[in-house]
Chain A
């Protein structure tokens, strides 16, 4: 249901001669339909649970089923909308342009720009190596390059959508802000440490050839970018979303309130480093992990602990570290994991110390 609603603008066959106005009109229409469906979801899920399936009101099982029926289409619809919009936005950016912007920038400003561009530049961690070489050989400082490499996977649209859908906009905003700050700070620290000697020697000797000519898509192609992004990303993560929400629904229905306060609560100081250590080798996408984390939070886990766990799962991954080993010596990989891990630890403790529970009630 989610697909038919928000993407009507993209499902029409692409005709490059159609003017921008027509595309905008179609998108506006799609958005209106999307909104109509989206704001009826709560009523629809309770109708499905109590009228169609005749589940008794107030029972644990019914609540879990209602939660599943409500959250799944909601999150998928948000995902379709935001991935589409960001897909169109990303068609304005490219790694080549980002590199040009960052080359020769002073460190601090460069770190900030790199973290911001990491969010909107199309990037796949499998091309982290060519991107890394391209950046450092064309004069982007090492620390600035790291700011980009930290922010690109950490602050991603899937994480933001799930946080927005399941936690509300305040936590989504906190995640966005702390994620960007982490990327800026960790990149800056790595830059200050002067670690260029721990980049594999051949990297700086590599000659970067003339740039490939830039593609300049027209509006129908930009819209097509958005549709492709939806097909790719939603096609890849929808199952994780459903499984994650189902596990979350089960936790909501069956795990007693406050059970986790002892082990994941703010009083347990060791839970933050433990969350980071468990999170680093875990490689799950945000779609699977966030619904579970949301349920944990509602059962007494502390926000900082949960945030730290989420960031280390999403932002620090072993496969990416292994890929980067091609261009970085082990010492630099260790510093990278260490600095980012430490940053996440600080964020975890900070949010456990701040009295935020009241503000964050959805």
Chain B
């Protein structure tokens, strides 16, 4: 089971990434949970200074942008 974490302090784009991640998981049928983290200290601990950011199993994959659905799918399949 993979774990996707979407980091964001609550901006519109952050919500967009969270929804996108959930959709990709649902549509691809891959086993993964999506979690949204808004806590600033957790963001800093992950080395993220630009949001929205997305991490899969602890590895930060994208920062400061809304990734494409295909990208998220690729990261889940890695």
Binding site for B on A (CB under 8 A): 94-96, 99, 122-124, 126-127, 129-131, 133-135, 137, 206-213, 215, 228, 326
Given A126-B13, A326-B40, A131 contacting B49 (CB threshold 8 A): yes
Q: What would 16 A/B residue contacts be, using CB atoms closer than 8 Å?
A: A94-B63, A123-B50, A124-B11, A126-B13, A126-B14, A127-B8, A130-B40, A134-B44, A135-B49, A206-B41, A207-B44, A208-B49, A209-B45, A209-B47, A213-B60, A215-B63
Whether B44 pairs with A137 at a CB distance below 8 angstroms is: yes
Given A127-B50, A135-B49, A137-B44, A212 contacting B9 (CB threshold 8 A): no
Smallest Cβ-Cβ distance to B54: which chain A residue = A212
Closest 8 CB pairs of A and B: A134-B49, A126-B11, A212-B60, A209-B47, A95-B50, A127-B51, A209-B45, A211-B47
Given A99-B49, A127-B11, A130-B49, A94 contacting B44 (CB threshold 8 A): no
Residue-wise interface mask of B (33-55) relative to A, using a CB-CB cutoff of 8 A (1 in contact, 0 not):
00000001101111111111101
**Residues in B whose Cβ lies below 8 Å from that of A210:** 47
Smallest Cβ-Cβ distance to B43: which chain A residue = A130
Q: How far is the CB of A60 from chain B (nearest CB, A)?
A: 41
Q: How large is the interface on B (under 10, 10 to 19, 20 to 34, 35 or more residues)?
A: 20 to 34
**A82 CA to B48 CA, complexed, in Å:** 29
B3 interface residue (CB < 8 Å to A): no
**Residues in A whose Cβ lies below 8 Å from that of B8:** 127
Q: How far is the CB of B22 from chain A (nearest CB, A)?
A: 20
Whether A129 pairs with B64 at a CB distance below 8 angstroms is: no
**Residues in A whose Cβ lies below 8 Å from that of B51:** 124, 126-127, 130
**Residues in B whose Cβ lies below 8 Å from that of A131:** 49-50
Whether B50 pairs with A94 at a CB distance below 8 angstroms is: yes
Whether A127 pairs with B64 at a CB distance below 8 angstroms is: yes
Q: How far is the CB of A104 from chain B (nearest CB, A)?
A: 16
**Residues in A whose Cβ lies below 8 Å from that of B47:** 208-212
Whether A212 pairs with B40 at a CB distance below 8 angstroms is: no
**Residues in B whose Cβ lies below 8 Å from that of A99:** 49
Whether A212 pairs with B44 at a CB distance below 8 angstroms is: no
Whether B44 pairs with A206 at a CB distance below 8 angstroms is: yes
Smallest Cβ-Cβ distance to A131: which chain B residue = B49
Smallest Cβ-Cβ distance to A210: which chain B residue = B47
Q: How far is the CB of A36 from chain B (nearest CB, A)?
A: 32
Q: How far is the CB of B69 from chain A (nearest CB, A)?
A: 13
**Residues in A whose Cβ lies below 8 Å from that of B49:** 95-96, 99, 127, 130-131, 133-135, 208
B13 is contacted by which of A124, A135, A137 (Cβ under 8 Å)? A124
**A213 CA to B63 CA, complexed, in Å:** 10
**A213 CA to B40 CA, complexed, in Å:** 19
**Residues in B whose Cβ lies below 8 Å from that of A207:** 44-45
Whether A212 pairs with B13 at a CB distance below 8 angstroms is: no
B26 interface residue (CB < 8 Å to A): no
**A113 CA to B47 CA, complexed, in Å:** 23
**A215 CA to B44 CA, complexed, in Å:** 18
**A212 CA to B62 CA, complexed, in Å:** 8
A212 is contacted by which of B10, B12, B46, B65 (Cβ under 8 Å)? B46
Q: How far is the CB of A133 from chain B (nearest CB, A)?
A: 6
**Residues in A whose Cβ lies below 8 Å from that of B48:** 130, 134, 212
Whether B62 pairs with A130 at a CB distance below 8 angstroms is: no
**Residues in B whose Cβ lies below 8 Å from that of A209:** 44-47
Q: How far is the CB of B5 from chain A (nearest CB, A)?
A: 12
Q: How far is the CB of B73 from chain A (nearest CB, A)?
A: 16
Q: How far is the CB of B41 from chain A (nearest CB, A)?
A: 6
Residue-wise interface mask of B (1-33) relative to A, using a CB-CB cutoff of 8 A (1 in contact, 0 not):
000000011111110000000000000000000
**Residues in A whose Cβ lies below 8 Å from that of B50:** 94-96, 122-123, 127, 130-131
**Residues in A whose Cβ lies below 8 Å from that of B45:** 207-209
**A129 CA to B44 CA, complexed, in Å:** 11
**Residues in A whose Cβ lies below 8 Å from that of B62:** 215
**Residues in B whose Cβ lies below 8 Å from that of A135:** 49
